[in-house]
Structure 1
Amino acid sequence: ASPIGSIAPTTPTTTSLFLLVLLIPLFVFLSLSRSPSSGEEREEAPTVTLLIWTRPFGEDQRLPDCWELLRVPGCALTYDAGAYPRADAVLVHHREVAIGAADPPPEPRPAAQKWIWMSYESPAHTPELWRLEGLFNLTMSYRADSDIFLPYGYLVPRAGAGTDARALPLSSSSSSEPPRSLFVAWVVSNWSEEHARVSFYRQLSRYIRVDVFGRAGRPLPGGGGHVVRLLRRYRFYLALENSQHTDYVTEKLWNAVAAGAVPVVLGPPRANYERFLPRDAFIHVDDFPSARELARYLLLLRAQPARMRRHLAWRRGCGLRQPDFWAEHYCVACRAVRRTRGRTAEVRHLSRWFES
């Protein structure tokens, strides 16, 4: 029998307990991500100036109004390097400094100014960290032990005071939904024979058909922004990360969740994924001794809808939040600066921490 066969079905009660116990660290975002309501007024708060020193990947993005976006008051965001002498904090996206497209902010820094290091790539794709030792006061990333933690996605309850109106409601499959006529999909742009995910795909595709989209496969219908729409036609999605590191769970997983496809994951260990999702919400490649056994289990689920529903029943009562890159990140960082005003610490051993 498949190892996953021992997993008990998730009930609404166990899903609720999961949300209350395992997702407590993520509930901090509920207060940040409430949709604007007409009854609320902008809170009077001392203004914090946050200078965006490097635009992530060179994207020329309009800066948000943090009050309108997340109800974060008193934030002045700017790209203007001339604001450096008066900025309360400077946000540095790692990649541009690492590849030499930008220099770090100049020393000496203004008194009490905080420098924030930000990266959403895995350690395997975050080079030159050693060059930045001792420069920063705060870290921001997908890692739960960052000073400023904002993951690629997270679940929220859909009932009670904690409801997040900005969350996407998740429904379990039902007879009213159109049938999913297709089996397994994989969307991949960064193809490398050195990646474990490519090796895994080659093994799995010996036993079942996998439809591959992206630069390494068929063009995505409608372009790259229509991944979720594509996945609504599939039962399973290969959410395979380019490298395996702590908390590195990217939009690949959350796009599958949003589409109602069951994600088959390759990344950090199962226990790490279970910090973000109930255990039935995904299928981990490590649950099986071989790709052949995993293929057998997927075929079994396709043939037995009752067993398939077990992997979807947890969705009742849940919502999904996927933060907007990079607008929400700037506003969450600004709020963190306000909360730590008057306190300045130094990030020690940046590379040792992030690469662990």
Structure 2
Amino acid sequence: MERIEQMQQRRYKMKWFLILLVVMSITGFLTWLYIDHTVPEFNQYRLVKSFENPTESNDNNYADQLRIILLWNSFFGDKRWSLPDDLLDPSYFRKDIRCPVSNCVITNRRDLFPRLDMYDAILFHTAQPFSVINPVPSQRSWRQLYVFALMEPPGETKHILSDENDFYNLTMTYRTDSDIVWAYNWFVDKTTNMRILPWEYPQWHPVPNVYNNTEIWKAWSSKTKMAAWFVSHCETLSKREQLAAELQKSIDVDIYGKCGGFSCQQGSLECDRLLDEEYKFYFSFENSLCVDYITEKLYRIMKRNIIPVVYGGANYKQFLPPHSYINVEDFATPAEL
């Protein structure tokens, strides 16, 4: 009888021990949940402190506070938008790219903070449709900046822009009148090593009256072919393919890629050799005739020993050095060109 009572007492103690263990576990979990989700500022404070520049830590100026920027969707399938990592702290801006503004963290991680309205700015790549699931953040703070990010012309977007007029705070595009100019490329002044930016209306160096470079003249005189064009989009809004067809009636134009009878891996050393050594002119025709729209293909051609023939909606005098290109718009007809 006494043994039975001892067993009952042990079971009673074990029961209460298990109850106490469960209560403590639940309490601990709820405490963690409260700290990690209900009071997200704790996490934000830790993050800010881990990235804070010691030389700036005593500055309470709002302009010096850390800014967290979220990349909402991918850039043509690239979640990093061509950046080197999923999260970049101020050291990347300060040391790696030597940006004059370095109090930034940029990331594609939506789970960095418990709430989406804690990010200072969210960038939306509008050349792609938003996801069906969670197309846009469900929460938004009055202090947040929503940024319309686009490097393509308006005709290539997957959005009805008139429906999103009141959604964005800032624009980030190739246009020089954007809030943030997202340029495809730029030139550098060799004498000062400073960038020449088209939105600052650059004053180009005067062209010398006499220019003698025997290597360039020798390379130019050995060229045997007239014009080349590397192109993969055969039907475009600018109708550039029709312009090329008209020019082919007057001169020899070798078209490489899906739209022509010649093949060459664009960007390869062999393509560069062809342009440098064999062709005199290259067609740099944009797929859309939009304000300020000049793509990276033209900047790439400017590095080669060839003269680009440009066709687009930009004011090329603002973007390219004088006498470095031929503009289709300067001629009345393709035959005159």
TM-score range, shorter chain: 0.5 to 0.7
SS of match in other structure, 1:252: helix
8 Å contact kept, 1:187–1:213: yes
Corresponding residue to 2:76 among 29, 53, 57: 57
Counterpart for residue 187 of structure 2: 155
Alpha carbons of 1:240 and 1:163: their partners in 2 closer, same or farther (altered >3 Å)?
Answer: closer
TM (normalized to structure 1)?
0.61
8 Å contact kept, 1:173–1:260: no
Matches within 5 A, 1:64-83: 65-72=92-99, 73-83=102-112
Alpha carbons of 1:140 and 1:230: their partners in 2 closer, same or farther (altered >3 Å)?
Answer: farther
Give, in angstroms, the shift of residue 103 of structure 1: 5.2
Alpha carbons of 1:280 and 1:214: their partners in 2 closer, same or farther (altered >3 Å)?
Answer: same
Please identify runs of 4+ aligned residues in structure 1 that moved more than 6 A.
none
Instruction: Answer with 52-61 or 188-197: which moved more.
Output: 188-197
Matched, 1:243 2:293: no
Matched, 1:257 2:297: no
Larger radius of gyration: 2
Letter in 1 for 2:93: C
Give CA-to-partner distance per residue, 1:148-182, whole Å, 9 cap, x none. Answer: 01322222311137379xxxxxxx88322462423
SS of match in other structure, 1:199: helix
CA distance in structure 2 between the aligned counterparts of 1:78 and 1:114, rounded to whole angstroms: 15
Counterpart for residue 47 of structure 2: none
Give, in angstroms, the shift of residue 222 of structure 1: 4.2
Matched, 1:179 2:179: no
Matches within 5 A, 1:85-234: 85-97=117-129, 100=131, 104-127=135-158, 128-160=160-192, 162=194, 174-177=213-216, 179-180=219-220, 181=223, 182-192=225-235, 195-217=238-260, 221-224=264-267, 228=272, 230-233=274-277, 234=279
SS of match in other structure, 2:76: helix
CA distance in structure 2 between the aligned counterparts of 1:203 and 1:155, rounded to whole angstroms: 32
Alpha carbons of 1:202 and 1:161: their partners in 2 closer, same or farther (altered >3 Å)?
Answer: closer
Letter in 1 for 2:233: N
Higher relative CO (CA 8 A, sep ≥ 6), structure 1 or 2?
Answer: 1
Instruction: Answer with 219-228 or 155-164: which moved more.
Output: 219-228
Letter in 1 for 2:72: W
CA distance in structure 2 between the aligned counterparts of 1:122 and 1:210, rounded to whole angstroms: 27
8 Å contact kept, 1:239–1:253: yes
Letter in 1 for 2:256: F
Alpha carbons of 1:161 and 1:243: their partners in 2 closer, same or farther (altered >3 Å)?
Answer: closer
Mark the runs of 5 or more structure 2 residues left unpaired by the alignment. Answer: 1-52, 57-63, 197-210
Alpha carbons of 1:230 and 1:276: their partners in 2 closer, same or farther (altered >3 Å)?
Answer: same
Matches within 5 A, 1:297-336: none
Instruction: Answer with 258-267 or 62-71: which moved more.
Output: 62-71
Give CA-to-partner distance per residue, 1:6-63, whole Å, 9 cap, x none. Answer: xxxxxxxxxxxxxxxxxxxxxxxxxxxxxxxxxxx99745322111111110124433
Letter in 2 for 1:199: Q
CA distance in structure 2 between the aligned counterparts of 1:193 and 1:145, rounded to whole angstroms: 25
| Residues matched between the structures, number | 244
TM (normalized to structure 2)?
0.64
Alpha carbons of 1:42 and 1:142: their partners in 2 closer, same or farther (altered >3 Å)?
Answer: farther
Letter in 2 for 1:106: P
Give, in angstroms, the shift of residue 194 of structure 1: 6.1
8 Å contact kept, 2:151–2:173: yes
Alpha carbons of 1:116 and 1:176: their partners in 2 closer, same or farther (altered >3 Å)?
Answer: same
8 Å contact kept, 1:97–1:103: no
Letter in 2 for 1:184: A
Supply the RMSD in Å over aligned alpha carbons. 2.9
CA distance in structure 1 between the aligned counterparts of 2:240 and 2:212, rounded to whole angstroms: 28
Alpha carbons of 1:213 and 1:287: their partners in 2 closer, same or farther (altered >3 Å)?
Answer: same
Letter in 2 for 1:176: E
Alpha carbons of 1:291 and 1:116: their partners in 2 closer, same or farther (altered >3 Å)?
Answer: same
Give CA-to-partner distance per residue, 1:285-326, whole Å, 9 cap, x none. Answer: 1212221221xxxxxxxxxxxxxxxxxxxxxxxxxxxxxxxx
Letter in 1 for 2:69: L
Instruction: Answer with 70-79 or 214-223: which moved more.
Output: 214-223
Give CA-to-partner distance per residue, 1:109-164, whole Å, 9 cap, x none. Answer: 13411111111111221242123221111100110000001322222311137379
8 Å contact kept, 2:72–2:108: yes
**Percent of paired sites with the same residue:** 30
Counterpart for residue 38 of structure 2: none
